[in-house]
Amino acid sequence: MGIKQLFSIIRDEAPQAIKEGEIKNQFGRKVAIDASMSIYSFLIAVRSGGEQLMNESGETTSHLLGMFYRTLRIVDNGIKPVYVFDGAPPKLKSGELAKRFARKAEATEGLEEAKETGTAEDVEKFSRRTVRVSRQHNAECQQLLKLMGIPYIIAPTEAEAQCAVLARAGKVYAAASEDMDTLCFDSPILIRHLTFSEARKEPIQEIHVDKVLEGLGMDRKQFVDLCILLGCDYLDPIPKVGPNTALKMIREHGSLEKVVEWINNEGKNKYTIPEDWPYADARELFFNPDVRPADHAECDFKWEQPDVEGLIKFLVVENAFSEERVRSGIAKLQKNLKSSQQARLEGFFKPIPKTEAEIKNLKRKNEEKAEEKRKKAKEEKKASKASKAKPKMNS
């Protein structure tokens, strides 16, 4: 899922595109978060004894707990999140792609089921693999966010694409996601690991798409083609094509059309394009996703006071959360909303006046910084090559 190995390519070929930092650096920023993806990871990770957390009626609460505490942490760091939910799965012209993938998903599920031998470990594995975000999970999280005063919007299709639209329009600073696909949808900035910088040791990464293209020496179309070649959500990968080959192919041939043509002729002894490989449709999904324009009313959002009684009723009464923890969480929401209003009043977020001279100065400084980074990165690359160190990197 997602684009495998894209991150390591960017790290190697366009290190200037990745800025690393801590969550404090994000203070005061608005970010768009792919809600459905977050919910999915909560359903998988928030467990006790291998089982999802539940309320007294036996209904899952893992997604609510994950979303509640993660959002609190984000807000507590002065970040203003807007959550974006998936709408319908993307419709392709033929609708074939979606169907094909639904079948494939069912098939793997069946396989897992067949393999299941009944040991506790297998059951747990199985239950994790068959996790799907349901309509109810989404609705409950939306209810929670509403009560928390945190805005959300529902995308026509893919949340990633909608996040990118918001970021491009400047309605948020960045799209926050673990999924590199967001870059294909042309979000200017992608923030990865937004939440787990303090908890784990890993830094927050900001990936700047313009720098990615610059470093790779590609235009956006070639970049998307590269991503498709690396294996996107919609298409099977081409056997024997890994990151190195994919990069080489796009660089040598310039486009997927040419790559396919080459494989079908000169390259046919080594590579085979999967039988059904509608790459043009996949590309179309990245270039013309079904999204709401940023100036649309549905893309208006604001942060509001939490509904204290509503939250107590929903989380404590209906879902067995600890009242004490919920109340202290609410206090954080109130405090941070107040302090961000205060900051605005005091002109903390006052836009920097951009006179000609200032812009020039800023540009010069950015150039210098970039140059310095490039130098440093080059040296680091040399050093790591010399020592043959293989940096570990997993998505």
Partner DNA sequence: CACGGCCA
Partner DNA sequence: TGGCCGTGG
Q: Closest distance between DNA and the C-beta of residue 200, in Å?
A: 7
Nearer to DNA, 16 or 197 (CB): 197
Residue 134 in tokens = 């349901």
CB of 53 to DNA, least distance (A): 4
Q: For the chain, what's the residue count? A: 395
Is 146 or 325 the residue whose CB approaches DNA more closely?
325
Six-digit token string for 170: 């400047």
Q: Which is nearer to DNA, 36 or 52 (CB)?
A: 52
C-alpha to C-alpha distances, 103 to 97, 108, 118, 147, 181, nearest whole angstrom: 10, 9, 25, 37, 22
Between 19 and 325, CB nearer to DNA: 325
Shortest gap between Cβ of 106 and DNA (angstroms)?
26
* 3-class SS of residue 32: strand
> In this complex, which beta carbon is closest to DNA, that of residue 49 or of residue 353?
49
Q: How far is the CB of 318 from DNA (least distance, A)?
A: 9
Residue placing its CB nearer to DNA in the complex, 66 or 289: 66
What distances in angstroms separate CA 18 from CA 192, 296, 309, 371, one per listed residue? Answer: 10, 31, 43, 14
Least separation in angstroms between CB 95 and DNA: 33
- Name the residue nearer to DNA (CB basis): 120 or 345: 120
Q: What is the binding site for DNA (CB under 7 A)?
A: 41-42, 45-48, 51-55, 61, 64-66, 69-70, 72-73, 195-196, 198-199, 201, 319-322, 325, 328
Q: Give the residue with the Cβ less far from DNA, 203 or 242.
A: 203
What single letter denotes the amino acid at residue 187? S
Transcribe 69-112 into DSSP letters: HHHHHHHHTT-EEEEEE--SPPPPSSSHHHHHHHHHHHHHHHHH
> Do strands 80-85 and 30-34 pair parallel, antiparallel, or not at all (unpaired)?
parallel
From the list 86, 96, 76, 93, the residue with the least C-alpha distance to 23 is: 76
Distance of CA 110 to CAs 41, 52, 87, 100, 115, Å? 22, 22, 26, 15, 9
Closest distance of CB 148 from DNA, Å: 14
Euclidean distance between CA atoms 112 and 357, whole angstroms: 63
Q: How far apart are CA 312 and CA 145, in angstroms?
A: 13
CB of 144 to DNA, least distance (A): 12
The amino acid sitting at 334 is Q
Q: Which of 125, 116, 134, 135 is nearest to 44 (CA)?
A: 125
How near is the Cβ of 130 to DNA at its closest, in Å?
Answer: 18
| Spatial separation of the C-alpha atoms in residues 46 and 43, rounded to whole Å | 6
Residue 145 CB, shortest distance to DNA, in Å, is 15
Q: Residue 47 or residue 146: which is nearer to DNA going by CB? A: 47
